[in-house]
Structure 1
Amino acid sequence: MSKFAEVFGVEPDGVWRAPGRVNLIGEHTDYNDGIVLPIALPNQITISASARTDGVIAVASSGQNDVITFELDSLAPGSVKDWAAYPAGAAWVLREAQYGIGGANLLVESDLPSGAGLSSSAALLCASAVALLGLRDLEVDPAEVARLAQRAENQYVGAPVGLMDQMASMCCSAGHALYFDIRAMTTDQIPFDPAADGLALLVVDVKAPHRHVDGEYAARRQSCEQAAAELGVPALRSIAVEDLDEALTRLSDDVVRRRVRHVVTEIRRVEEAVALMRAGQLRDVGPLFTASHVSLRDDFEITVPELDVAVDTALAAGALGARMTGGGFGGCIIALVDSSTATTVLNAIEKAFAANSFTTPASLDATPSTGASRLS
């Protein structure tokens, strides 16, 4: 008997999945109408599901024995709490958008580490949405599912997130990075296959606790919005790198100037990275990773000692480039390395963490993978 049958008394009608993601470059440009370049990870949320006829949605996690139930018609923001708020939010937003979903049994499994900044929440929302739609054979454009998932996280869960995570989870393709232009709301698939060039992209979870994250994120967003208002532009995306120095002289606060410098130069780094990837010069993307980390450390000030030690150690051990990825204040780094040196780099980071009395880090396979799909 399957785990699903043990929990719900029936076998599933199908299995759906949605991956986590890492952002290669473009960190913290998303609320400035910027551009980002994520890849989907092999690590994912998997949901086995069966349809119900009573209008009830029952959710369970493979790691827990409790089954949480709620009625589809009575869902409202805040009505379901904790982790179950994510599948509930997916059901609520699909109902609000008048998609003909119905009751369902959902069993959630995951190999995405929580708290690592790899978008497990977006993956859970997207996996829940595609499962609920798939049970009723409803075909919806992946980008639309991403937008609905963002709405669910904003309005149902109450997290003021952008759209990058959901777009990556829904729209990435294997062997590519997703170029997502937030202002234009357009995407493009950029060739990114490190293994084909004898390279590897390491993702290292530094296991650092997130510290004062909400207040820090809000402060940085406020600084960017303040700067845009002072400069008379709708968002910092409107400032070209060539005009950056002049723009900075018009700002009176040094902290705000540094925030602006990060955003404007980070957008340029994304453009340069895309050009190099299109030209097949993947090795040359490494220094852009490192420059991004320096900017995030010194100008945006969202790194912590664990992230900095991991990046510095990776570079000293031979990485072509390394940077923190995600929201910051903990989470992960990525490092572009020669495949033959991957183990050496990881071992060096582990030794450096032990020497600094940090928690032992963990590494993930970062093969660029495909977005949400049905497995069976």
Structure 2
Amino acid sequence: MSQTADTASPQDESDVLHRLSFLDRFLPLWIIVAMAAGLLLGSVLPGLQGVLDAVKIGQVSLPIALGLLLMMYPVLAKVRYDRLDTVTRDRRTLVLSLVLNWVLGPALMFALAWLMLPDLPEYRTGLIIVGLARCIAMVIIWNDLACGDREAAAVLVALNSVFQVLMFGVLGWFYLDVLPGWLGLDTTSINVSPWEIALSVVIFLGIPLAAGYLTRRLGERTRGREWYESRFLPRIGPVALYGLLFTIVVLFALQGETITARPLDVARIALPLLVYFAIMWAGSYAVGRAAGLSYPRTTTLAFTAAGNNFELAIAVAIGVFGVTSGQALAGVVGPLIEVPVLVALVYVSLWLRRRWSAAQDAGTAVQR
């Protein structure tokens, strides 16, 4: 895993937003516009749910299912699956990432959801699902902007993608059913089937994961990696955003009455998310620094631990609980909060990078 990402110039550091694509730069704005469009559509077409439910895949209407699959596929087509075999070269980073992503992250979101939303079980469940959906390819954008280790990020993202297929259903059952029972928490208002969670993961992550893997293998084999990453991926990249925005429009069209009647609920969902992102990023950064990792590796560790796969969280929430559920609404609030917070943390990372370099230079001067 190279560490050439640490060579970015100070001029590049001061221009973070301009290094984002036009669509990524204004992602929070597009989400807000999609929410408003959904509310307007719901008031104009009150019979929309009946139209959407005319054709279903399982419990999910066909148009929404297609939107969810389109949302996931481009992201998973970006993952470099051939880098998975390099994870054994840095076991320290690998172990820290697995512990932060699959032990501490879900446990922290579980605790915050129960502490801050004890009276809102649907939103609480939705947040726990967000905590279980670990980061995938979009985190590479934030990692690159913060001058993290690109190769390490690609490996950790690929690992998380595969691990989610295997473990999401199990962890969902544990955090939504088993652990609350052990702690004596009241879960009578929520009925969660681990098989429904597993089925949603297989459909909405397994299918696009297989498609993304095959697309990369075939694309690189026939046209080469340079063509695949510089020509093909930029063409399909916006499809993920279109799928996400379509899903948000439909969700808010169907939930318009609930949202307008209880606007403070959105703020209550946002608060634990803000706390979660801050603790996960700062805690992961501190762990990486204490473990003696370099700045690029520490930055990659922090962003891959703090980021979440909100596409999968939305898909699972809709697949298990329905598009009009509070769980689905909690999933949609996730990217609205995550994107601006992680962009802000890119600036914090670059500030820490300058302090890190200054400390290293001072240490070198003392040794001389």
The verdict on a shared fold, with TM-score over 0.5 as the criterion, is no
Which protein has greater RCO, CA pairs closer than 8 Å, 6+ apart? 2
Shorter-chain TM-score: which interval?
Answer: under 0.3
TM-score normalized by the length of structure 1: 0.23
TM-score normalized by the length of structure 2: 0.23
Q: Between Structure 1 and Structure 2, which shows a larger proportion of helix residues?
A: 2
